[in-house]
Amino acid sequence: MRASELRGLRWEDVDLNRNELHVWQRADRFRTIGRPKSQAGERTVPFGQFVANTVKEWKVRCPKSELGLVFPNGKGNVEDLVNIVKRGLVPSGIEAKLVKDGTAKYTGMHVFRHFYATWCIDRNLPPKVVQEQLGHSSITITFDRYGHLFPRGDDAKEIDAAKLRVVGIPI
């Protein structure tokens, strides 16, 4: 999910029985709630049991919010992205030893999105599934960003094999 989608996520959009959530809104950098970036951004995102258990624990401790947000600030409003990064992501990265010269190697929330995309591709999910999971409006966006990660075979051998099937003569 995009950071803006996480910041706008409501409890009513989290289905802990089915281990999935529904992206229907986001919170922009001005903390304004609105629709996702594109129509493709409205989607269902599955998650595993570890995440489900963590979300259940968080729900008990989560600050109450009139907006019903899953990740509100202490007053129940949309959390500022800078606070999430400075107070959560960077210290966690340092604790996990993702540091170089005393500073975090990865400092943006987008790193999780890239990790998930890479994981989906590494599982050999079809490109259209990866596109849908990421909420890209077009397969072109997915390929432009992550195309270099999709598995490739030996192009020369594949071409030779295709020629053999077509012509029937070994090359």
For residue 44, what are the domain limits? 3-79
Residues 112-167: tens digit of each pLDDT: 888 888 888 888 889 999 999 898 999 999 888 888 888 776 667 777 777 677 76
**Does 114 fall in a domain?**
no
Residues 36-75: tens digit of each pLDDT: 988 888 999 999 999 999 999 999 999 998 999 999 999 9
**Does 32 fall in a domain?**
yes
* Least-confidence region, from 10-14, 84-88, 93-97: 93-97
What does the block give as tokens for 8?
Answer: 């706008």
**Does 169 fall in a domain?**
no
d(CA 73, CA 85): 13
Give, in degrees to the nearest 5, the angle at Cα 93 between 88 and 94: 105
B/e letters for 93-130, b = 16+ CB within 10 Å, e = fewer, are beeeebeeeeebeeeebeeebeeebeebbeeebeeeeb
Number of domains in the chain: 1
**Does 124 fall in a domain?**
no
Strand ranges inside 38-118, DSSP E: 43-46, 99-100, 103-104
Amino acid at 136: H
pLDDT at residue 161, as a whole number: 73
Is residue 76 very low, low, confident or very high in pLDDT (cuts 50, 70, 90)? Answer: very high
**Does 135 fall in a domain?**
no
**Does 95 fall in a domain?**
no
d(CA 70, CA 62): 7
In DSSP terms, 14 is beta-bridged to 21
**Does 99 fall in a domain?**
no
Q: At what angle do helices 139-146 and 110-122 cross, to 10 degrees?
A: 90
**Does 123 fall in a domain?**
no
Q: Does the pTM of the predicted model rise above 0.75?
A: no
